[in-house]
Structure 1
Amino acid sequence: MAGAPARPPAPSLRNVETLLIAMAVVAIAELGDKTQLVAIVLAGRLRRPLLIAAGMAVALGFMHGLAAFAGRWLDQLLPDRLLGWIIGTGFCLMALWMLRSSGHSRANVPRPSSQRHVFLIALFTFAMLEFGDKSQLTTLGLAAVLDPAWQVGLGAALGSIMINLPMIWLGYRLQNQLPQRLIQRCAAALFALIGAAVLITQAL
């Protein structure tokens, strides 16, 4: 009919093609990564899955956004060797904290005053895990060849969060099936291994 308003163009997947590519590629890169293992043990140890998920989401969003928008300057923020020593020492300190609390009884759920720290623990842990990790390097590589950068960062963050969220649920469910002391000691061992591996790599 004459005079009828023109229809707006139909939405196309090409408008979000970069986002979908980044989401898929980073999700695949995260499969079997140590981030998934840490998500399991943190959820089993801290027993606050929503706070852990929130801390993880903020950390992953920030780290992948940083890689997408400022990747070329990441190396200049801190020397690689110094950064490695900081991260390795941080994981070793986390291992000592986990081991120190492993002597407590299973009924010793974090008190309300300490629950505020769960978010910060998750935020700090996942941010350290992602700094220089293969998934962040994947985001850095994608940002070099794909546009726009915000879709690369958002897609990478969504892919990483999507693949790690089920691990938090799994860890929370397992804490009812396994002795809490065993979970705490496994968590301490995992953090110690990651920290030692990073420190040894820097020393070589």
Structure 2
Amino acid sequence: MESLIVSTGVVALAEIGDKTQLLAFLLAARFKKPVSIILGILIATLVNHGLAGALGAWITTAMGPEVLRWVLGVSFIAMAGWMLIPDKIEEDEAQIARRFGVFGATLVTFFLAEMGDKTQIATIAMAARFPDPITVVIGTTLGMMLANVPAVLLGDRLAGRIPMKLVHGIAAAIFAALGVATLLGAGESLGF
């Protein structure tokens, strides 16, 4: 249950102001087809985070517990720093929307935008940190949906009212706390 709550909360916070949320705003403003956009986000996130969760689970088998603890601890602390750097949307990702339908454009652009993104890296790290990667993937997907569905439905009205620095600061603090806790030995009973 802890892995579900932590992964949902961390990704929901990390996603606010992230380039994929900006992409959700852009697609919603351009196409005004919320159901197609939301379904595209859901499928893209499940596939992307499913692969990330599998990689995170594999990492736990490839590294010894002590090395894994240090890699995860440093990764979480690095994520804390990365959270403080604002994202901007790539124009190439927005251009894909013109070639495919709304669902296809959302699916492709979200999948590509998530490659190497903060939330994908966080999914890998949390899947390596917690014993059940499937619960982590469910949580990170839920977190993505919690952040992006309002972006799709409320669009521009919501964008200006969210204190991005505060939200990113809270997410950074959570990542830093996870990193420090991991380095100090939290989770040793889990094998790392």
Change (3 A) 1:96 1:139: closer
Match of 1:190 in 2: none
Tell me how far apart the structure 1 counterparts of residues 93 and 43 of structure 2 sit (CA, whole Å): 22
- Of 16, 33, 38 in structure 1, the residue corresponding to residue 23 of structure 2 is 38
The one-letter amino acid of 2:45's match is L
The answer (yes or no) to whether the contact 1:43–1:169 under 8 Å persists in 2 is yes
1:26 aligns with 2:11: yes
Match of 2:128 in 1: 144
Moved over 6 A (4+): none
How big is the shift at 1:145? Answer: 1.1
1:65 aligns with 2:50: yes
The answer (yes or no) to whether the contact 1:47–1:172 under 8 Å persists in 2 is no
Structure 2: gaps (5+ residues): 60-89, 159-192
- The two structures have a TM-score, normalised by structure 2, of 0.59
1:168 aligns with 2:152: yes
How big is the shift at 1:94? Answer: 4.5
- The two structures have a TM-score, normalised by structure 1, of 0.56
Match of 1:155 in 2: 139
How big is the shift at 1:172? Answer: 8.1
Equivalent residues, number:
127
How big is the shift at 1:170? Answer: 2.1
The one-letter amino acid of 2:145's match is I
How big is the shift at 1:39? Answer: 0.5
The one-letter amino acid of 2:4's match is L
The one-letter amino acid of 2:151's match is M
Tell me how far apart the structure 2 counterparts of residues 93 and 28 of structure 1 sit (CA, whole Å): 22
Match of 2:39 in 1: 54
The structure that has the greater radius of gyration is 1
How big is the shift at 1:32? Answer: 1.3
How big is the shift at 1:97? Answer: 6.9
The answer (yes or no) to whether the contact 2:46–2:141 under 8 Å persists in 1 is yes
Tell me how far apart the structure 1 counterparts of residues 35 and 4 of structure 2 sit (CA, whole Å): 25
Q: How does 1:64-83 map to 2 (within 5 A)?
A: 64-71=49-56
- Of 113, 121, 129 in structure 2, the residue corresponding to residue 129 of structure 1 is 113
The one-letter amino acid of 1:58's match is I
Change (3 A) 1:96 1:147: closer
Q: How does 1:182-197 map to 2 (within 5 A)?
A: none
Indicate the percent of aligned positions where both proteins have the same amino acid: 39
Structure 1: gaps (5+ residues): 1-15, 74-89, 102-113, 175-204
RMSD: 2.7
How big is the shift at 1:55? Answer: 0.5
Give CA deviations for 1:44-103 in whole Å, capped at 9, x if unaligned. 111111010000111011111111113458xxxxxxxxxxxxxxxx953753875xx9xx
The answer (yes or no) to whether the contact 2:53–2:137 under 8 Å persists in 1 is yes
The answer (yes or no) to whether the contact 1:23–1:156 under 8 Å persists in 2 is yes
